[in-house]
Structure 1
Amino acid sequence: MKSIRLLLALSFVISISRAQTNHYTISFENAVHHEAFITATFPNITTDTLAVRMSRTSPGRYALHEFAKNVYGFKAYDGKGNLLKVHRPDPYQWQVYGHDGTVKIEYLLFANRGDGTYSQVDETHAHLNIPATFMYAPSLELRDIEVSFVIRKNLNWKVATQLPLVSGTTYAAPNLQYFMDSPVEISNFGLREFQVDGQTIQLVLHHNGTEEELNTYFEKVKKVVLAEKEVYGELPDFDYGRYTFLVCYIPNASGDGMEHRNSTILTSTRGLANGGMEGNIGTVSHEFFHAWNVERIRPRSLEPFDFEEANMSGALWYAEGFTSYYTNLILCRAGLISPKEYIEGLTGTFNYVWNSPATHFFNPIEMSYQAPFVDAATSVDPVNRENTFISYYSYGSVLGLALDLSLREIGLNLDDFMKLVWNKYGKTQTPYTIEDLRNTLNEYAGKEFGETFFGSYIQKSEMPDYESLFNAVGVGLTTNPNIPYLGISARLNGDGNGEITSNPKMGSPAYEAGLDKGDVITAINGEKFPDGMQFDAFISQFKPGDVLKVDFERFGLPKSTNVTLRPSSMYTIVVKEDETLTKKQRNTRKEWLKLP
């Protein structure tokens, strides 16, 4: 973030000694009821009124989250301890006036969601996302910050964070932007670390497992780190020579991953002993890749990060999507999943993207603009996402795949393109625009190639020729015209009826027949659904071209319609056997997956 980078060049020792430093303390006496007690002191206030507020957003998230809803018991005092008057001009801020140049505030925070966006306080840990925890004064955003964590020694708690240590359990930040971007895990965690090119990579793991499991998982994390370093040729220059994985794999957490400048939050309910060893490592891969792509190769549209309004960017297909492309590719290159698992595992995302009607409404840039409505955002009114939205993670991922395979057809590759973007924008910490990405691809692969890719697949929603691209690496892409397609999902109720649970896909047989979400199908061709049979299995007994008479109820009234089944457009991605491949196909696949 721009303001971070400007101040990190200053001497940190000199910086924290200055008088104008905002001080926070946080304690957890009532952790059993998910409360934290927080104080903040703002000295040398030169204005009559000091406004403090809770953030409405969080770095790495793009929707509003309204953290102020969990704050209560707010009080403000002057430097002598006198109670001050407070005005609430809106739900997010408190205006304090009548002070003597110092304002001290205190409040209680309720926190009970352990993920990358929110905070969680209980007697297992204090898991703190800073924007969800600490009030701030917007007018003082460039000030130094110190924060003291009053830990529960009776619970053997320790502190882990990317913030640099001052002393004891007091940590510092050079400004508000860096503070907000620095999550904290306080618990009885395990710690492992290793050195890479003079920098320290730490794994902080809060879990209910064994030391042996921690050691085994640490080896997997090391493989991911080194494989991702190979993509860019070097690690980022971490601000204090350290990168920290802050990991909570505990039953009371919520599954998530969230990148930060020198750390990441990784949470899951899956412990390492019950599937987490393999199931959680993909999030490690995704979030660490962000240390380059997003945190340093950073869209200009996210600079500086706004804590008061939703942050909108048209570059998320690249920032999140290309990172998603590398997520499992890195696991394959690191030997953590097999080439067959990786390649055939592309099937679900591929079908989700290219069988969606949403490509008729939004290109990848416009799909990225939807982030404030979908990135853990909440609403109570029904939406039509099945037909109008494709996740920019998934959309960008399959476009990253297409770009990589297309570049390999002309003797280039996506790794070297990412290196070029890194050297031009990430290493220099120059925020980029989409036009910068376009020009860089033109520079790397030639103007005709770059203009075709951006013109067809980024500014438009055309589909690359995947059959040809896959064939070049010995992978088959097929559809089966004998599988019937209806275009809805339904939940069988156990009484012979089935309720439609999704908006029918636009253009599908169900859509054109007038079926809709919430309709209760009472019979198909005069028959009830057999007990124990899934809806898809019931439909699979028919053939494309069959006409089904569907009886259903809508709003309690009986209705009927005819539906003509069509061939399914679902794709199957399969790895062709080595002996069937040409030498060129084998070599291209080997280079792509970095096989020995």
Structure 2
Amino acid sequence: MITYRIAIADLHAHQFRVTLTLPAPAADQELSLPVWIPGSYLVREFARHLSDLQATQGGVEVPLIQADKTRWRAACKGRTALVVSYLVYAFDNSVRTAFLDAQRGFFNGTGMCLRAEGRENEPHAIEIGRLPAGWQVATGMKAAKVDARGQGRYEAADYDELVDHPFELGRFWRGEFVAAGVPHEFVIAGALPSFDGERLLADTRKICEAEIAFWHGTAKRGKARAPFERYVFMLNAVEDGYGGLEHRASTALIANRRDLPRLGQEETSDAYVKLLGLISHEYFHTWNVKRLRPDAFIAFDYSRENYTELLWFFEGFTSYYDDLFLVRQGLIDERRYLELISRTVTGVLDSPGRKVQSVARSSFDAWTKYYRQDENTPNSTISYYTKGAMLAMALDLSLRTDDQSRGSLDDVMRGLWSRSGGGPIAEQDVVEVVEQVAGRSMATELRAWIHGTDDLPLPALLERVGVRWGAGCKPSLSQRLGLRVAESALTGVRATHVLTASAAQAAGLSAGDELLACNGWRLRRLDDALLTLDAARPDQLELLVSRDQRVLNLALKLPQEVCAVPIKLSPAEKANARAIGLRRAWLTG
């Protein structure tokens, strides 16, 4: 079996020592490290963190020649096992790569485990070496022979499975529950002592049971169990962070430690709702992208970008269902759910890029645009997460309110699972299953929504279920100006983005400009500019701006407050009984 021994080389230098043992190598055995990790669509060049590569056979040094930025060739003699040892620098405190310090260790195989080319389909194993006193191991990978702390040997059927199981190391909090007959584990590093673990476990269990039932039905109905025997949530609680990365039987999460529920806290804070939404999102991915997946991902090419136009479905539809499961399970109420939708809608409508880029193109361009955002991103792109979630809602409400329809988006998702056997799908599969559920072809609408740039017909669709689409709170000054800023009382106001066709752009403002003063008054907050308006000229802003150490005077005319955003969704006061019934069915599942 191909084996990787992972040991701590130096905690304070943030270095792991990896030793790869490859039985019966080829004469010119090629080894390579992935350049990306599935689920995060950016070439990250993991090989830059490798050093001190050494290769031997039977204790005799083997020449190891680097072929390119991520590939090496070992000139082997005979069939004696090839042993390759190297250091991995691990100081990325995210869910994507590897991290090591005196308190905690974490790694994904894509950044640690050299791939023996031509041998990817063979069984692989990871051995965790001796850890510091009190440290434990958590992973979704199958344990072969481990001690009480998790030190020892874990095995996978092939390289793909090996790198789809992250490892958490350290002194972490650990909790367990069973959902739909499946053992689940939740481990948290960095939690404050006041955090309420029992509440987190109870709420997470509700989400897991609901999502398993969504895909497979309930045990009483005799449907299949979840497609995993055990599941592990790994949460890194930090001072400031948010995100997650899905895997086949686990997920790695990062969140603000203050987002966790606190002992004695009865209310459900917005921060905790955000964390529950993240948990729901990554768990839903266990089906929708890890198994049901784009046909372009039948086999991963770890050496380059893997393009697909379907992330609007796999990320966007998952983003639609994540918060929907919270309201369906009673973790939030209807009012709060509509507030969450309102924020998503507002964010999309406040992005000029929605008129430039379709969600299909946004997906294809993820490698060069979504994961490489800059000051022009809002003007040239749209998020396949948020616009994809709106597309899912438009499709769901269309199906639920059409007299010809035989079901909802829930039925489409399960239909795709059944049609593909929980495997690869193409856009045409979505179109055809939607037609089966709708009782008519929706190909024209779907083509426009997926490949076009017009706004989705959500106001009319929401009205059908008794939800009012209206103006929200008063637009902020930054929204009226088409300007996004970073600001604080200490550092002042700096423009980060200037939106297309905005008053800020017309006045000549650029990203990076520091807004020093308005109408002769020093600025520390952008909204303070409103306090400097002269009654005789109530729409005139004379800005003093610093750009590349030069001071500029820019005149800006304040536009009228009429604005398409922010949007507020709320139950319609005069909705009829049918609309109310449809809304109840939508929000309860």
For the aligned pair, the TM-score class normalised by the smaller chain equals 0.7 to 0.9
**Which residue number in structure 2 is paired with residue 394 of structure 1?**
386
Query: Mean Cα displacement is larger for which, 136-145 or 508-517?
Result: 508-517
Please say if 1:433 is aligned against 2:429: no
Q: Is the 8 A contact 2:504 2:556 kept in 1?
A: no
CA contact (8 A) 1:71 1:109 kept: yes
Instruction: State the distance in 2 between where 1:162 and 1:375 align.
Output: 29
Corresponding letter in the other structure for 1:270: R
- Out of 209, 212, 219, the position equivalent to 1:229 is 212
Contact kept in structure 2, 1:147 and 1:172, CA below 8 Å: yes
User: Secondary structure of the residue that 1:94 maps to in structure 2?
Assistant: strand
Instruction: Write the distance in 2 (CA, Å) between the matches of 1:432 and 1:199.
Output: 27
- Alignment partner for residue 566 of structure 2, among 571, 574, 584? 571
Structure with bigger RCO (C-alpha 8 Å, 6+ apart): 1
Measured against aligned partners, the alpha-carbon deviations of 1:332-353 in whole angstroms (never above 9, x if no partner) come to 1111122111101222221221
**1:589 Cα deviation after fit:** 1.6
1:553-592 aligned within 5 A: 554-555=547-548, 556=550, 558-563=552-557, 565-566=559-560, 567-576=562-571, 580-592=574-586
Report whether the alignment pairs 1:257 with 2:257: no
Asked if 2 retains the 8 angstrom alpha-carbon contact of 1:547 and 1:563, the reply is yes
Taking structure 2 as the reference length, what is the TM-score of the superposition?
A: 0.87
Deviates more, 1:563-572 or 1:299-308: 563-572
Q: Which residue pairs with 2:409 in the alignment? A: 414
Q: Does 1:137 align with 2:120?
A: no
| Aligned ranges 1:119-198 → 2 under 5 Å | 119-152=98-131, 154-168=132-146, 169-198=152-181
Q: CA deviation at 1:249?
A: 2.3
For the pair 1:34 / 2:34, whether they are aligned, the reply is no
Is the counterpart of residue 248 in structure 1 residue 230 in structure 2? no
- Per-residue Cα deviation, 1:215-271 (whole angstroms, up to 9, x for no partner): 2210011011122234324487556522222233255x9532111112111122415
Shifted more, 467-476 versus 358-367: the winner is 467-476
- Sort the Cα spacing of 1:65 and 1:583 in 2 relative to 1 into closer, same or farther, 3 A: same
**Contact 1:63–1:311 (Cα < 8 Å) also in 2:** no
- Which residue of 2 is the match for residue 116 of structure 1? 95
Contact (CA 8 Å) 2:296, 2:308: kept in 1 or not? yes
Letter of the aligned partner of 1:420 in structure 2?
G
Q: Following superposition of structure 1 onto structure 2, how do residues 185-224 of structure 1 map, counting pairs within 5 Å? A: 185-209=168-192, 213-224=196-207
In 1, distance between residues paired with 2:284 and 2:537? 44
Contact conserved, 1:480 with 1:569, CA < 8 A, in 2? no
Q: Secondary structure of the residue that 1:296 maps to in structure 2?
A: coil
Deviation, 1:166, is: 1.4
SS of corresponding position for 1:437: helix
- Secondary structure of the 2:449 match is helix
Question: Aligned residue for 2:343?
Answer: 348
Counterpart check, 1:308 vs 2:328: no
Give me the TM-score of the superposition, normalised by structure 1: 0.86
Q: CA deviation at 1:285?
A: 0.4
The amino acid of 1:243's aligned partner reads Y
User: Tell me, what secondary structure is at the counterpart of 1:139?
Assistant: coil
5+ residue gaps, structure 2: 147-151, 219-223, 263-268
Q: 1:531 to 1:373 in 2, by over 3 A?
A: closer
Q: 1:17 is matched with which residue? A: none
- The whole-number CA distance in structure 1 between the counterparts of 2:211 and 2:536 is 46
State the alpha-carbon separation in 2 of the partners of residues 539 and 461 from structure 1: 39
What is aligned with 1:7?
none
Question: What is the CA distance between 1:387 and its match in structure 2?
Answer: 0.2
TM-superposed CA distance for 1:458, in Å, is: 0.8
CA distance in 1, matches of 2:94, 2:350: 31
Contact 1:59 1:180 in 2 (8 A): no
Contact between 1:477 and 1:573, CA under 8 Å: does it hold in 2? Answer: yes
- 1:572-593 deviation line (CA, Å, top 9, x unaligned): 223236x643222221221111
Deviation, structure 1 residue 315: 0.3
Q: Judge conservation of contact 1:76–1:85 (CA < 8 Å) in 2.
A: yes
Q: What is the CA–CA distance in structure 2 between the aligned matches of 1:544 and 1:364, rounded to whole Å?
A: 43
**Is the 8 Å Cα contact of residues 379 and 499 (structure 2) preserved in structure 1?**
yes
Match of 1:73 among 31, 42, 52: 52
1:52 partnered with 2:35: no
Q: Distance in 2 between matches of 1:302 and 1:536?
A: 51
Provide the identity percentage: 25
Q: Return the match for 2:501 from 493, 500, 507.
A: 507
Structure 1 contact 182–263 (Cα < 8 Å) conserved = yes
Return the letter of the residue paired with 1:255.
Answer: Y
Q: Deviations over 1:278-301 (max 9, x none)?
A: 442221100001111111111112
Residues 1:28 and 1:234: Cα distance change in structure 2 (over 3 Å)? farther
Matches of 1:123 and 1:551, distance apart in 2 = 48
Q: Quote how far apart the aligned CAs of 1:496 are.
A: 12
In the alignment, is the contact (CA less than 8 A) between 2:488 and 2:525 conserved in 1?
Answer: no
Encode CA deviations 1:436-493: one digit per residue, 9 max, x unaligned. Answer: 2112212221444x12321221121222222222222332212379857221134568
How has the CA–CA distance of structure 1 residues 211 and 156 changed in structure 2, closer, same or farther, with 3 Å as cutoff? farther
Shift of 1:559: 4.4
Q: 2:4 aligns with which of 24, 27, 39?
A: 24
Whole-Å separation in 2 of the counterparts to 1:121 and 1:258: 19
**Residue in structure 2 matched with residue 4 of structure 1 by the alignment:** none
Q: Distance in 2 between matches of 1:491 and 1:245?
A: 34
Q: Deviations over 1:117-136 (max 9, x none)?
A: 11112232321111112212
After TM superposition, give the deviation of residue 162 of structure 1 in Å.
Answer: 2.0
Q: What is the SS of the residue equivalent to 1:458?
A: helix
Against the structure 1 CA distance between its residues 182 and 491, is the aligned structure 2 distance closer, same or farther, given a 3 Å change threshold? Answer: closer
Amino acid at match of 1:262: A
Deviations 1:187-242 (A, max 9, x none): 33444334444432332333445598222210011011122234324487556522
The aligned residue for residue 11 of structure 1 is none
Contact 1:231–1:416 (CA under 8 A) maintained in structure 2: no
Instruction: Determine the C-alpha separation between the residues in 2 that align with 1:434 and 1:323.
Output: 16
1:231 partner letter: F
- SS of 1:345's equivalent? helix
Aligned length: 562
- The letter for the 1-side match of 2:389 is S
The CA deviation string for residues 60-92 of structure 1, in whole angstroms up to 9 with x for no partner, is 1111111111111111001x2011112112121
SS of equivalent residue, structure 2 residue 321: helix
CA pair 240-325 structure 1, distance change in 2 beyond 3 A: closer
Q: How does 1:354-393 map to 2 (within 5 A)?
A: 354-374=349-369, 376-377=371-372, 384-393=376-385
User: CA-atom RMSD, angstroms?
Assistant: 3.1
Deviations 1:496-537 (A, max 9, x none): 9854331x211222223433223444555x443555663576
CA contact (8 A) 2:210 2:329 kept: yes
| Matched residue type, 1:438 | V
Query: Whole-Å Cα distance in 2 between the matches of residues 58 and 335 of structure 1?
Result: 34
Report the Cα offset of residue 539 of structure 1: 9.2
Q: Is the 8 A contact 2:492 2:525 kept in 1?
A: no
Distance (whole Å) between structure 2 residues aligned to residue 238 and residue 83 of structure 1? 48
8 Å contact from structure 2 (residues 493, 526) kept in 1? no
Moved more, 431-440 or 484-493: 484-493
Is the partner of 1:60 in helix, strand or coil?
coil
- Measured in 2, the distance between the counterparts of 1:200 and 1:366 equals 39
Distance 1:493 1:39, change over 3 A: closer
